[in-house]
Structure 1
Amino acid sequence: MEILPGRGVAMVRVGETRAEVEARLGPPAHPGIPARSVYDTEPSLVVDYDGDVVELVELGCSGDGGEQATVDGVQLTYRFMDEVVAELTELGHRPEPCDSGYAFRAGFTIFSTGSRHAADLDPLATPDDPREIVEGVGIAPAAFWLG
């Protein structure tokens, strides 16, 4: 699924209302959480709301064989973090370290929660292999990430 830096994805855009999102996607998979909704899409879509307006769009990692998040032809999720950062840098995106990954001034982040291990991508990886896998992408205006 192609991300639109700073804006979201084709199905959900920053600034849309909850009613607009749910008219397209249906109700969230786990209703009753007003500030954050998870939608049953491939890859999974997590939307943070400020009141009833989309503030942040996140895409999860689908794992092997599933649809992944992309930008400018670069697969972002389910790849080694260092490889993704290198490819994005070659395209002119400048990474800035943040809590669990990197933020980009274009209006997105890539992150790892540590729930995947290098062996998920490299069968020769040892148990102590430190390579991180990009497990998700956050999309919002650059000010959301970088102030």
Structure 2
Amino acid sequence: MNRKRSKQMEPTDKELVQMALDARKNSYAPYSNYKVGAALLCEDGAIFTGCNIESASYPCGLCGERTAASKAISEGHIKFKKIAIAGSSEQTCTPCGMCRQFLYEFAPELTILCSNNVGNFKVNKLNELLAQGFGPASLK
């Protein structure tokens, strides 16, 4: 899903979490049965959703966060403001290490809404979840 919204109509955190919960429905998770949905809000108001996609060759799978971010990047959106992540258990779903590193490339101070299966969420900052992250500035 790609929705273009004006900044004046920016979704609430709860609405963004609901979009992540909805995106989870498209998850392909036949091996782990752990479905994840993500909804990424870009600085210009565009919203991209994604879900996890597993593969029988486990390393080839994609997390929901990277699916949403890849969709945004492939459409020319590289400035991210906030992402909601919803898992399929009672525990809140936090991004894995690979997703933290991937997202750090584009938005070290990204706000992350980590939700459980019913929409209860905690607010985190990416640079807190990935302290002293490695990004473009590290290569200078």
Note whether the superposition's TM-score is higher than 0.5.
Answer: no
- TM-score, structure 2 normalization: 0.30
Kindly indicate which of the two structures has a greater share of residues assigned to strand.
1
Kindly indicate which of the two structures has a greater share of residues assigned to helix.
2
- TM-score, structure 1 normalization: 0.30
Larger CA Rg, structure 1 vs 2 = 1
